[in-house]
Amino acid sequence: MNGIIVINKQQEFTSFDVVAVVRGILREKKIGHSGTLDPMATGVLPVLVGRAAKAQSLLPDTDKEYEADFRLGITTDTLDIWGTVQSETKSSCSAGDIINALEPLRGDIMQIPPMYSAVQKDGVRLYDLARQGIEVARQPRPVHVGGLELLSFDEETQSGRLRISCSKGTYIRVICDDIGKSLGCGCVMTALVRTKACGFTSEDAVTLKELEALKNEGRAEELLKPVDSIFRCYDRMYISEKQSVRFRNGGGLSLDRVRSVKDRTDGRMYRVYDGRTFLGLGIIDASKEELSVKKLFCQ
């Protein structure tokens, strides 16, 4: 089996747990995933099967989308409801207050990774330090929040829901915490669902139980998305049969001989096809004036 199966990850499973279960169901050794979800988060997790596992280190940085529940008036060490409570405050904010607090959190912003995260400091995971009661200085990181919308807010419970579209590496917990800091009352994330990743949505996803049931019926392959679907953000490039032989063997192709090249910018990536067959990714090497092989998926 070669392709992508989109899993709807359940709560209390790590992304690695999902990979292990899928490996067992499909009896396929080569399995990867497209981006880590925290254990308490749910939602879209594309799993890379067979030759598609080669794509794990090459995934384009497309925006991911989430829906996150939050509650005002509380802070925890993990910035979510599952952590140890650090403070509780009476909050009486309105939906308008929340909307105003969201404004500076949109666009290109800097985020400080939370202590309970997989970011490394001097070779040690921050969450390992946090579990020892150690807090260290962290450098702010640039992220992009393309969309940040208040979907609902209950003034009585001081709880609401956000829709967020953001770049890789964005911490939704930190966005909630920043809202609480802006309003002066604290805020924690209480639930998180990823609704879109790598161009796939919740409608594409199945649960692990559904995958197992289809496997038992001999129908698991029906769930496979083509390997090239995860690279849809790159333009297609079609090459001749003769060029295909060279490309399959790792050879670069002269740009003057590739008719379908649209942009010769150095580093530009393309999906390369021989007719209907997806061969792999090619990358423009302007210094050599050629399309070099970035990764082959046809073998």
Domain residues for 48? Answer: 3-59+201-229
Q: Which amino acid is at 101?
A: A
Same domain for 172 and 122?
A: yes
Tally of domains within the chain: 3
Which pair of structure tokens corresponds to residue 82? 């599952």
Same domain for 255 and 284?
A: yes
Which pair of structure tokens corresponds to residue 156? 């009585």
Contacts of 43 (CB under 8 A, 6+ apart): 8, 9, 37, 66, 192, 193, 194, 195, 202, 205
pLDDT, tens digit, 9 for 90 and up, residues 107-152: 999 999 998 888 888 888 988 998 998 989 999 999 999 999 999 9
Q: Which pLDDT does position 243 carry in this prediction?
A: 94
Model confidence at 29: pLDDT above 80 = yes
19, 33 Cβ separation under 8 angstroms: yes
CA distance 80 to 73: 12
Q: Which pLDDT does position 36 carry in this prediction?
A: 82
Q: Which pLDDT does position 213 carry in this prediction?
A: 97
Same domain for 74 and 141?
A: yes
Q: In terms of DSSP H, where are the helices of the chain?
A: 15-26, 95-102, 126-131, 172-183, 208-216, 241-248
Model confidence at 261: pLDDT above 90 = no
Which of residues 148, 175, 197 is at a domain's end?
A: 197
Give the global pTM.
Answer: 0.90
User: What mean pLDDT value characterizes the chain?
Assistant: 94
Q: Which pLDDT does position 121 carry in this prediction?
A: 85
Q: Which pLDDT does position 60 carry in this prediction?
A: 87
Q: Write out the H or E segment, with its range, that includes residue 49.
A: strand 42-49
CATH number, domain of 97, equals: 3.30.2350.10
Model confidence at 35: pLDDT above 80 = no
Same domain for 170 and 242?
A: no
Average pLDDT over residues 94-102: 97
pLDDT, tens digit, 9 for 90 and up, residues 180-193: 999 999 999 999 99
CA distance 105 to 109: 7
pLDDT, tens digit, 9 for 90 and up, residues 212-253: 999 999 999 999 999 999 999 999 999 999 999 999 999 999
178 given a catalytic annotation: no
Same domain for 160 and 114?
A: yes
Same domain for 191 and 247?
A: no
CATH number, domain of 282, equals: 2.30.130.10
Model confidence at 87: pLDDT above 80 = yes
Same domain for 19 and 135?
A: no
Q: Which of 38, 80, 177, 178 is catalytic?
A: 38
Q: How far is CA 106 from CA 99, 100, 165, 234, in A?
A: 11, 11, 10, 26
The CA-based angle 147-223-166, given to 5 degrees, is 10
